[in-house]
Structure 1
Amino acid sequence: MTRGTGPLGPPRGAAAHRTRGVRARAAALALLLAAATLAGCERGAQDSPGVSPTGPGGCPAAQAGAQAAVSRAERTDVPWNGPAKGPAAVPGKTIVYVAQTMTNPGVAGVARGVREAAKVIGWKVRVIDGEGTPAGIQAALSQAVTLRPAGIVIGGFDPHSTSQQVARATAARIPLIGWHAVAAPGPSRSPRLFTNITTDVADVAAISAQWVIAHSRGNAGVVLFTDASIPFAHRKSELIRKALAACPGVRLLAYPNIPIPDASSRTPREVSFLLARFGNRWTHSVAINDLYFADAAPAFRAAGKEGSGPPFNIGAGDGDPSAFQRINSRQYQAATVPEPLSLQGWQIVDEFNRAFSGRPASGYVAPVHISTAENSEGATAWDPTGYREAYRRIWGR
């Protein structure tokens, strides 16, 4: 029997006051428990296996850092921060661009930049298409070595897959420059490359995840598309996954592994399955290449999803013209982290000029950029300013 209740009658004096305080605290505690239980039920409804809503300020430090980084990356008025000095143009050179496949918009975009820059510096360029197959790429690089050019570009494929041809080029003292050939920018010893041209994969991964955190205000359910058969792509997606984990309110719903050559056939089926499984809990997507969203669009459309999202999709990829078209028309892609393809073509020519002059590589790595419908102004590529004028001054052209 509890003191102050029951047949002993109502409490009086100090005892009565204490009892009323206990009852008030108990009532307040009961309300808090009820609210917590209700919140827990609501969270569980979304948590299995969806997003844990954190509400405003769910990860304030991560959100603030992400928003600041995204704002910097969205700027389009960034001044040229690449090399200002280097050797004058070495005349009369011929280089060969070996392309993984010219149907890859990134590879083709860099080839156009190489041709444009070579015309300015006064060189000849030959492009050999590997047509996207291991045998075709090996044959293309063999042909390039046989031509004995001044330099060869490894355009978008893993040099380890052409180790014999790379060894022949090295033995013939033909400098090799890669574009997306190895994981990191800069010179490479194994395989031996004078330098490799790419934005820093860690920076690309980080800004892609930060865009999701900032755009969602720290409350998102994310699908991350990757191709685990490509070490470079798998590393990128793992870095994205870890960066998303900086905000507890951002949950990774699914991590589909779809090889890029199979993307056109597998992505629509995978997207339909994920939409049926997660519904509105799927709010954002990140892909290691923009092309996944080209293949996903029909499935989103068939499910009645608006082109402007959700899900809001960002490509941590090349930033090819079709990606910009989807972004500018707000059709199932909201943003991309594009490579400055033309700039990188010019950089390849400049790096060869340094190699031919006995100089080291420049060490330049283009900063990451985010393109959206708001800042692209209808463009179909990210083409920053200042690099053409800078390289012309260096070369004396």
Structure 2
Amino acid sequence: MAEARSVAVALLTAATFLTGCERGVSNGPAVSPTGPSGCPSAEARARAAVTRAEKTDVPWNGPTSGPPAVSGKTIVYVAQTMTNPGVAGVAKGMREAARVIGWNVRVIDGQGTPAGIQAALSAAVALKPSGIVIGGFDPGATSQQVSRATAAGIPLIGWHAVAAPGPSAKPALFTNITTHVDDVAAISAHWVVSHAHGNAGVVLFTDASIPFARHKSELIRKGLAACPGVRQLAYENIPIPDASSRTPREVSSLLSRFSSRWTYSVAINDLYFADAAPAFRAAGQKGSGPPFNIGAGDGDPSAFQRINSGQYQAATVPEPLSQQGWQILDEFNRAFAGRPASGYVAPVHISTAANSAGATAWDPSGYREAYRKIWGK
């Protein structure tokens, strides 16, 4: 019964904080300067999870068998926006893998707007390629184009296109490549709880226009709510295409409102901290924090540079972007051979200055060799 009451309290706290998320508006409950003290049990669980996720000597646990490479394929990667470092990182990985497997990859940039994404996907379908990648946007917003691709027999693979990894019936995707959003959200919240020893004032940055991102941020809020000592100060809804212009202004406002009560930040994408850095610097905040900032997704090179140099970001939960680019081509190869999707989902990882060894990406070992062997290359 005590556990049930604790869960109920956590859910009530999350529900209270979830009230209202209008575009560009900060929302949150009234903030206590002190708040409850800690959460020993939750902190212990968080610390154990973070320790596992920070390991770097993890062997390849993906596919080791599959159909040999077919030849002469052209894949079009429709990007939500190439200004999103995660989207761009996957495209880079696909191009690298394409040189190995012997295919052509073309990128069409949707420029981050609904009209631009629809036009980009229409152009992709008109090219009649072997396959199309839905790169970081909701296929529901391009249902007509998706239907045309399906009718033309063009297989579709998503990257962060829907919330869950694996095949999707509606929308019709051969598979969707992403880490488990639940795991990414949970480990981000765990990092805050563990690093803060159960006492923090947190601001969350998200793009609620992207269903995947909004779902992730809601899960993060629920994870943070499990620790009574973690106060959720504000929820900043800033669309990714607007981040460079709006984030500095919002950060300045948040610093004015919360001052030293703001000790941690979580963002659904690292790029928010690139845009926040000038405002932190102008306000005289130390690059090493507080606030201590963690990006719950992507892990682009600039994020690693900020982390390694102690400049307004302490950690990231990086996607293995290059590996996912290789996986996309392997999944297409399985589709062309009439095989099912591999079902592989990369495990979550946390990168910090202590474990990144100066790297500018999370690039786990073993996948290049494994895919070359599968493809016969």
Give the TM-score normalised by structure 1.
0.85
Alignment of 1:106 with 2:86, yes or no, is yes
Match of 1:84 in 2: 64
Alignment partner of 2:40 out of 60, 84, 95: 60
Alignment of 1:396 with 2:376, yes or no, is yes
Q: What SS class does the counterpart of residue 237 from structure 2 fall into? A: coil
8 Å contact kept, 1:96–1:127: yes
Match of 1:49 in 2: 32
- Which residue identity does 2:260 align to in structure 1? N
Match of 1:381 in 2: 361
Deviation at 1:51, TM superposition (A): 4.2
Match of 1:243 in 2: 223
Deviation at 1:53, TM superposition (A): 5.1
Alignment of 1:232 with 2:207, yes or no, is no
Alignment partner of 1:93 out of 45, 48, 73: 73
8 Å contact kept, 1:51–1:220: no
8 Å contact kept, 1:354–1:361: yes
CA distance in 2, matches of 1:104, 1:267: 15
Any runs of at least 4 consecutive aligned residues in structure 1 with deviations exceeding 4 A, and if so which? Answer: none
Deviation at 1:134, TM superposition (A): 2.2
Deviation per CA, 1:102-125: give whole Å up to 9, x if none: 222111111111111111112122
Match of 1:329 in 2: 309
CA distance in 2, matches of 1:231, 1:130: 17
CA distance in 2, matches of 1:83, 1:200: 17
Question: What pairs up with 1:121-132 in 2 under 5 angstroms?
Answer: 121-132=101-112
Question: What pairs up with 1:138-177 in 2 under 5 angstroms?
Answer: 138-177=118-157
RMSD across aligned positions (CA): 1.4
Question: For residues 133 and 257 of structure 1, do their structure 2 counterparts lie closer, same or farther at Cα, with a shift above 3 Å needed?
Answer: closer
Alignment of 1:137 with 2:117, yes or no, is yes
CA distance in 1, matches of 2:261, 2:278: 20
Larger CA deviation: 361-370 vs 263-272: 263-272
CA distance in 1, matches of 2:125, 2:257: 51
Give the TM-score normalised by structure 2.
0.89
5+ residue gaps in structure 1?
1-46
Larger CA deviation: 350-359 vs 111-120: 111-120
CA distance in 1, matches of 2:159, 2:57: 25
8 Å contact kept, 1:51–1:221: no
CA distance in 2, matches of 1:350, 1:318: 21
CA distance in 2, matches of 1:149, 1:258: 34
Q: Between Structure 1 and Structure 2, which shows a larger proportion of helix residues?
A: 1
Question: What pairs up with 1:1-397 in 2 under 5 angstroms?
Answer: 48-52=31-35, 54=37, 58-397=38-377
Deviation per CA, 1:22-41: give whole Å up to 9, x if none: xxxxxxxxxxxxxxxxxxxx
Larger CA deviation: 307-316 vs 291-300: 291-300
CA distance in 1, matches of 2:80, 2:237: 21
Deviation at 1:157, TM superposition (A): 1.5
Q: What SS class does the counterpart of residue 188 from structure 1 fall into? A: coil
Question: For residues 255 and 50 of structure 1, do their structure 2 counterparts lie closer, same or farther at Cα, with a shift above 3 Å needed?
Answer: farther
5+ residue gaps in structure 2?
1-29
Aligned residues: 348
Question: For residues 263 and 103 of structure 1, do their structure 2 counterparts lie closer, same or farther at Cα, with a shift above 3 Å needed?
Answer: closer
- Which residue identity does 1:204 align to in structure 2? V
Deviation per CA, 1:155-199: give whole Å up to 9, x if none: 111111211111111011110001111111111111100001011
Deviation at 1:48, TM superposition (A): 4.3
8 Å contact kept, 2:306–2:312: yes
CA distance in 2, matches of 1:107, 1:114: 11
CA distance in 1, matches of 2:353, 2:107: 33
CA distance in 2, matches of 1:72, 1:90: 38
Structure number with the bigger relative contact order (C-alpha 8 A, sep ≥ 6) is 2
Match of 2:10 in 1: none
Question: Radius of gyration: which is bigger?
Answer: 1
8 Å contact kept, 1:79–1:385: yes
Question: For residues 86 and 325 of structure 1, do their structure 2 counterparts lie closer, same or farther at Cα, with a shift above 3 Å needed?
Answer: same
Q: What SS class does the counterpart of residue 83 from structure 2 fall into? A: coil
- Which residue identity does 2:32 align to in structure 1? P
8 Å contact kept, 1:183–1:201: yes
Larger CA deviation: 106-115 vs 341-350: 106-115
- Which residue identity does 2:163 align to in structure 1? A
